[in-house]
Amino acid sequence: MSDLEYVFGVHAVRAMLDRAPRRVKRLMLQRGRVDGRAQTLLDRAAAEGIGIERIAPEEMDKLAEGVHQGVIAQVTPSQLWSEEMLTHLLDRLDTPPLLLVLDGVTDPHNLGACLRSADAAGAQAVIIPRDKSASLTPTVRKVACGAAETVPLVAVTNLARTLKTLQQRGIWTVGTAGEAEQLIYQVDLAGPIAVVMGAEGAGMRRLTREHCDFLARLPMAGSVSSLNVSVATGICLFEAVRQRTGSGR
C-alpha cells in the first residue's frame, strides 16, 4: 500500500469519488463524524465497492498535510501529463485553445488555486516546468477542490521550447509583467492563447519572457506592486472568457 497517495478534504475526496472512483482504494472517516456530507461520501464509496474505515483524529492528522476535515481517501498515484499527451489533446480540440502556463510556481496552495481557476475558466490544460515547480500533492488537490482531477497538468522539460512549439501551432503566448506597456484588457485573448504567469516574487524567467509574443500587466491603483499569482491568474483567464463570450462588449 506504500505506493498509494492520500487525498484529503471533503471537496477533493468527493471529486475523486465522482470523477475517478476506480482510483480510490479506501475511504477513511474520522470516528464520531456523523453529518450529511460524510454520509454522502459513505454512500458514494459503498456504491463503488470501496472499503471504508473509521479512524481516530490523531491518526488522520499524521496522514494529512493540512486540514483534512475528517475525510481522507487512499488513491492510486496521480499522473502528470507529458508533452506528447498535450500534443494529442491540442490535436483533438474543436475550439481555440486557452492554456495556462506557470513558470516556476512553487507554492502548492498557489498551484491548487490556479488549477481551480483554470477549470472554472474552461482552460484545456495547465503547463508547468518539470523542475522548480510545485507538482500534484495532496495539498494541491485539496486547494484545487476537484480541479486537479479535471484539468490536465502538463510537466515539460524545457518551458521555452514548449512555448515555441505552441507558437508554431498558431497559439499566441501572452506573458504578464509589471513593466509591460499595455494592460491585459488591451490584448486580444479571443483566439488561441496561452497565458503565461511568472513565479511568486521573481516573475517570469528571462527565457520565458523572450518567448512571449506579448507582455501585458494588470492595473495596480493601490500601494502594493503586484498580486498573488493565483489571483492574477484568475483575472487574466476570466478576461479571456469575457472576450470569448462577448460579455461587456
**Which residues define the annotated binding site for S-adenosyl-L-methionine?**
198, 218, 227
**H or E segment and range at residue 74:** strand 71-75
- Are the beta carbons of 214 and 187 closer than 8 angstroms? yes
Q: In Å, what is the CA distance from 134 to each residue of 33, 74, 130? A: 32, 21, 9
User: Do the bridges between strand 172-176 and strand 125-129 make them parallel or antiparallel, or are there none, so unpaired?
Assistant: unpaired
Residue 37 CB coordination number (10 Å): 15
C-alpha cell of 15? 471529486
CA distance 163 to 166: 5
| Binding residue numbers | 198, 218, 227
Residue type, 72: I
- Are the beta carbons of 89 and 125 closer than 8 angstroms? yes
Which of 71, 58, 92, 214 has its CA nearest to residue 141? 71
User: Alpha helices, DSSP H only, in the chain?
Assistant: 10-19, 36-47, 57-63, 83-92, 108-121, 138-144, 159-168, 206-210, 229-245
CA distance 193 to 98: 5
- Are the beta carbons of 217 and 180 closer than 8 angstroms? yes
| Residue 186: DSSP 8-state | G
